[in-house]
Amino acid sequence: MLAACQSPVAAESIVRAPIAKVQASEKGLQTAIFAGGCFWGIEGVYSHVKGVKSAVAGYHGGSRRDADYSAVSGGGTGHAEAVRIKYDPSVIRYDQLLRIFFSVGADPTQLNRQGPDRGTQYRSALVPTTPEQAKVARAYLAQIGKAGIWKDPIVTKVEAYSGFYPAETYHQDYMLKNPDAAYIVRWDAPKVKGLKTLYPVVYKADFTRN
């Protein structure tokens, strides 16, 4: 059976999320994890952001034992498809990464799904790796919940870190390797285009390879 993120569909609209009122003040190379549906698109978006040093597709939550694509795609392992990024906060702050996530990466009103992809493995979640990230993430979720930009309630959650397991090699740099794949063309390429349109100052044309 084909996994849902291999089925092409029309892309969702792009939204300009608000500037965060609570900004991060991190120093030194940092790590952040974002779950927002099929990890190809989230990896692709952040791989075009200045200051991002790496973007690794993988699985957050669940156990190491069943952190593989065939098991996770069944929806019963507790994992979420996620992306772990390493970034330089002197170039791009965590709160700016959050803004990008909600502007072009994931729809925060969709529960246990993103677009055509259904199941808890496609939930949208923020996984802070530091206390400051947790503070900024919770403040931003509260902020966008009151912003009135989305007509439906915000359902994205902050999840405690409970392990991240890199996905199989063929999932890494997937958008770069498969630019003509039907799913990439119709679902994920518009996200990168939205990043370039909304935030040209932080967009870079080169793809950050793993």
The answer to whether position 6 is within a domain reads: no
Q: What is the pLDDT of residue 12?
A: 58
Would you say 92 and 29 are in contact if contact means Cβ atoms under 8 Å apart?
A: no
Q: What is the pLDDT of residue 2?
A: 35
The answer to whether position 15 is within a domain reads: no
CATH code for position 42: 3.30.1060.10
Q: What is the pLDDT of residue 6?
A: 55
pLDDT per position as a tens digit, 152-180: 999 999 999 999 999 999 999 999 999 99
Q: What is the pLDDT of residue 116?
A: 86
**Which stretches of the chain drop beneath a pLDDT of 70?**
1-4, 6-12
**Residue among 15, 54, 53, 61 nearest 35 (CA):** 61
Token pair, residue 132, equals 């400051």
Buried b (16+ CB within 10 A) or exposed e, 62-83: beeebbebebbbeeebbbbbbb
The answer to whether position 12 is within a domain reads: no
Would you say 163 and 72 are in contact if contact means Cβ atoms under 8 Å apart?
A: no
Cα–Cα separations (whole angstroms), residue 98 to 106, 138, 146, 156, 188: 10, 11, 16, 12, 18
The answer to whether position 2 is within a domain reads: no
- Give yes or no: 38 in active site: yes
pLDDT per position as a tens digit, 25-40: 999 999 999 999 999 9
Q: How far is it, in rounded angstroms, from Cα 152 to Cα 154?
A: 7
Token pair, residue 66, equals 């069943």
The answer to whether position 209 is within a domain reads: no
Q: What is the pLDDT of residue 115?
A: 83
Catalytic residue, chosen from 5, 11, 20, 38, is 38
Residue matched to tokens 């069944």: 74
Number of folded domains in the chain? 1
Residue 194: its H or E element: helix 189-198
The type of residue at 174 is: Y
Q: What is the pLDDT of residue 1?
A: 28
The answer to whether position 3 is within a domain reads: no
Domain of residue 187 covers: 22-198
Q: How far is it, in rounded angstroms, from Cα 58 to Cα 202?
A: 24
The answer to whether position 14 is within a domain reads: no
Q: What is the pLDDT of residue 210?
A: 82
